[in-house]
Amino acid sequence: MPARLSPLFVPGPAGKLEAVLHHDPGTPVERVAVVCHPHPLYGGTMHNKVAFRAAEALAEAGLPVLRFNFRGVNHSEGVYDGGVGERDDLRAALEWLAERFGPLPAVAAGFSFGAAVTLDVAPGAPSVRAMIAIAPPVKARDFPELLECPKPKAVVQGTADELCPHPFLDEAFPAWPEPKLRLDVPGATHFFDRRLGELTAAGRQALDWSIIHAW
């Protein structure tokens, strides 16, 4: 049965965060997931097609999945905070999932700016057992938190990504400790135009790999 989409608000450190929960109430819950959207200053919202496809792939695997808008986006309260306060927004989303479903292990996923927030928060978040980063902005960031992080980390990257160029991931990824997985989508641009089916398949593969390595 397809997951139901339930709009809701999550209490956040800067006010209410607009969110949507993908969840089939008839499916036993063993783990949960959260998906973070791309850059708020460039039109990024939880309704971004890549964030939606990532959430859909996780939900099809039976996980309750929370998508949410960072502070200042659409109906979320607060204002953009340069990625700093947004880390606390993600922590609030994880706390809400724990309150809703109990202290279950979580998968944290994000696209672009959302991937950066995910990679900043997930290494130190006790509930997060695995992370999935789609087109992480490694050109602009070093992500030192990952260098000592033993949690499974999967990356999905388009080989024609014009905003997060492939060679920068080639340079950064080898320094990240195992377990790790890199899935390249041939010919995909940053927004996976005409490659959304391949993105969904890669998301499921990343999740299946993460489950094997984290549970």
Per residue in 122-172, pLDDT (tens digit) is: 999 999 999 999 999 998 788 998 999 999 999 999 999 999 998 999 999
* CATH code of the domain in which 140 resides: 3.40.50.1820
pLDDT average, residue stretch 20-39: 95
Domain count, the chain: 1
Using CA atoms, how far apart are residues 29 and 51, in angstroms rounded to an integer? 22
- In the prediction, which pLDDT does 141 show? 82
Would you place residue 19 in the very low, low, confident or very high pLDDT band (cuts 50, 70, 90)? Answer: very high
**Does 97 have pLDDT greater than 90?**
yes
- 125 lies in which domain range? 4-214
Region class of 124: left (phi > 0), else alpha (psi between -120 and 50), else beta: alpha
Burial label, 75 (beta-carbon count in 10 A; 0-12, 13-18, 19+):
exposed
Tokens 């996976």 found at: 192
Residue spans of beta strands (DSSP E) within the chain? 4-12, 15-23, 32-36, 65-68, 106-111, 128-134, 153-158, 180-185
pLDDT average, residue stretch 70-92: 98
3-state secondary structure of 6: strand
- In the prediction, which pLDDT does 1 show? 57
Total residue count of the chain as it appears in this document: 215
The average confidence (pLDDT) of the chain is 95
